[in-house]
Amino acid sequence: MPMRALITGISGQDGSYLAELLLSKGNEVHGVIRRASTFNTSRIDHIFDKLKLYYGDITDSGDVERVLKDSDPQEIYNLAAQSHVKVSFDSPTYTGDVVALGTARMLEGFRRICPGAKFYQASSSEMYGAVKASPQNEDTPFNPQSPYACGKLYAHHLSQTYRKAYELFICSGILFNHESPRRGETFVTRKITRAVGRIVAGLQTHVNLGNLDAKRDWGYAPDYVEAMWMMLNNYRPSDYVVATGETHTVREFAKEAFAVVGLDWEKYVKVDARYMRPAEVDLLLGDALKIRERLGWEPKTKFLGLVKAMVEADVRLARREALLRGNDAESFLGKA
């Protein structure tokens, strides 16, 4: 019989790639989506008929219990979150309700309803914050610098507590930044590549960014969801850092993104103080030795390959947008 997997946040970047991966392995995939006044399933529309979807919200304990009972999962991937760091400063209580208490509701429902299942918790490199040591591994002290990071740290520690107290199979993946053409457009990498496509298409003139010197360990989302699956398909639960072991600045990302289409990034990027965080995280660099040695996971996509894939996808998107606006998109195709 196929394995039944439940994904919260299935309509997000990671959820959509994970759903594809699980389907490719013959699993039965269930997912939770929030009811909204607009369609919010674009990332999973191509596999929509292969999924069993439930309307629900992890801020509602009743929803959590209903979905767990109806889906009866053998694997649970808790990916739902308000995951934008800057937004978490604007909406700290909502972020805490989703990220921290939402995980608490999921863990308690898991413990009560389907304790024989395996549970994956999406932790975050943002928990390291103002780093105490570099590179960061599973033993590096945490020092969160945002409401989002604080919520993730609560969820991370609570997952460890449930694993020990109730002897449950719970893994936390401390994932460093991971991007793709499905990344939300408000995140800096996608904001850059989206702007590249639109600038080449003549749809915008520049892009406003915040701290260009912030350094991040950027990987490719499909590689990282494979790590999630590997964690739950190991014989013992544990926590793992998932990272490339390379760090690059936002400036480097912008430079390489514009270079893909033969443009000088400095002519199009403007620094805007509105996009600075109240408390900045200057450097994140992961040490993924544990997952490499125990599970054999390795990132397959390098930094430049990631940037190129995102830019090319957003040039195609901008081409479609320009055509819809009645512009002559053919003139810029040779630049991409």
Question: What tens digit of pLDDT does each residue of 219-234 get?
Answer: 999 999 999 999 999 9
Tell me the C-alpha to C-alpha distance, in Å, between residue 18 and each of 60, 117, 216.
Answer: 24, 18, 23
Q: Name the DSSP class of 99.
A: I
Does residue 334 carry a pLDDT above 50?
no
Model-wide pTM > 0.75 = yes
CA distance linking residue 113 with residue 9, whole number of Å: 20
pLDDT at residue 38 in the model = 61
Please identify which of the residues 17, 120, 128, 148 carries the catalytic annotation: 148
What would the mean pLDDT of 282-286 be, rounded to a whole number? Answer: 93
Known catalytic membership, residue 126: yes
pLDDT score, position 2 = 83
- Residue 279's pLDDT band (cuts 50, 70, 90): confident
Name the strand (E) or helix (H) holding 171.
Answer: strand 169-175
C-beta atoms surrounding 272 within 10 Å: 11
Catalytic residue among 123, 124, 125, 146: 124
Residue 258 has pLDDT above 90, yes or no: yes
CA distances from 164 to 160, 169, 234, 259, 326 (A): 6, 9, 17, 49, 60
Contact 76, 169 (CB under 8 A): no
What distance in Å separates the CA atoms of residue 294 and residue 236, rounded to the nearest whole number?
Answer: 10
Confidence (pLDDT) at 21 = 98
273: pLDDT strictly greater than 80? yes
Q: Using the 8-state DSSP alphabet, how is residue 325 labeled?
A: T
pLDDT at 329 over 60: no
Q: What is the mean pLDDT of residues 226-249?
A: 97
Contacts of 93 (CB under 8 A, 6+ apart): none
> Tokens 């529309």 appear where?
45
Instruction: Note if 148 is an active site residue.
Output: yes
Q: Cβ(315)–Cβ(336) under 8 Å? A: yes
**Which parts of 120-276 fold into alpha helices (H)?**
147-166, 188-200, 221-232, 250-260
Does domain 188-215+246-283+301-335 correspond to CATH entry 3.90.1170.40?
A: no
b/e per residue 15-51 (b: at least 16 CB within 10 A): bbbbbbbbbeeebbbbbbbeeeeeeeeebbeeeeeeb
What integer pLDDT is reported at residue 336 of this predicted model? 46
- In this structure, whether the domain defined by 4-179+220-242 belongs to CATH 3.40.50.300 is answered with no
Q: What is the mean pLDDT of the chain?
A: 94
**Cα gap 230→226, rounded to integer Å:** 6
Q: Which of 28, 126, 179, 256 is catalytic?
A: 126
Output the pLDDT for position 37: 53
Whether 238 is a known active-site residue: answer no
Domain with CATH 3.40.50.720 in the chain: 4-179+220-242
Which whole number is the average pLDDT over 258-263? 97
Check residue 246 and give its pLDDT.
97
Contact 48, 108 (CB under 8 A): no
pLDDT in tens, 155-209: 999 999 999 999 999 999 999 999 999 999 999 999 999 999 999 999 999 999 9
Instruction: Report residue 299 as tokens.
Output: 């990132």
Which residues of the chain form CATH 3.90.25.10? 188-215+246-283+301-335
**How far apart, in Å, are the Cα atoms of 95 and each of 53, 58, 124?**
24, 12, 14
Instruction: Determine phi and psi for 179, rounding to 5 degrees.
Output: -125, 175
> Which residues neighbour 334 within 8 Å (Cβ) at sequence distance 6 or greater?
none
Q: Give the strand pairing for 215-216 and 248-249.
A: antiparallel
